[in-house]
Amino acid sequence: MTRPQFVLASASPARRQLLTQAGIQPYVSPSKFDEDQIQLSDPVALVAALAEAKATAVAPLFQNGLGLGCDSVLAFDGMIYGKPQDREDAIARWQKMRGQVGELHTGHALISPQPNRRTLVRCQVTRVFFGAVSDSQIEDYVNSGEPLNCAGAFATEGKGSLFVDKIEGCHTNVVGLSMPLLRQMMDELGYSATRFWQ
């Protein structure tokens, strides 16, 4: 079987870095899909639908592409949170989340190349235990700008690692892409991840 081009349908630098660190050099082709088209109250269904929509939007552009779409949200206190709207929103979220536990859901959609195109959609869930941080620490973190571009308003691969006490489950899932789940999905489609090593 010829090795296809690995296509990442996401502009996320964190997802790209995870793939690169694992030896996979993706071709980055961000989806232009309008995420507001999908409104679901169940976080698993929501991230699955968004991930599939992103991968499906990019797949026709690459005949020999193994396309990956992802989407992440934080479920906390009965609410679903994507990226914060602004600085005030991020501060308010952190004031609620500190000392509490949230669930980070990441949807993964993997589409195999033509002519026998197949689509797999999976979701990974990781529990995140937030630290009991002070108001001034929250303000400093939000002022750094980091949480404004992240689902749930935190990034464990950056400054936010100081404010997360513990993670239960897949660590890379919190960054935006579960690498073990990706390997399993690639296996299911008949592609060993090691064949993509550069």
Q: Which residues are catalytic?
A: 71
First-to-last alpha carbon distance for the chain, in angstroms, is 17
Cα gap 89→106, rounded to integer Å: 21
Cα torsion 139, 140, 145, 148 to 10°: value is -30
Cβ-defined contacts of 44-47 (< 8 Å, 24+): 44/105, 44/107, 44/123, 44/125, 46/71, 46/73, 46/80, 46/105, 46/107, 47/71, 47/72, 47/73, 47/105, 47/106, 47/107, 47/123
Query: Contact, 16 vs 77, CB < 8 A?
Result: no
Of 48, 50, 189, 164, nearest to 112 (Cα)?
189
Cα gap 10→2, rounded to integer Å: 24
Of 98, 70, 93, nearest to 81 (Cα)?
93
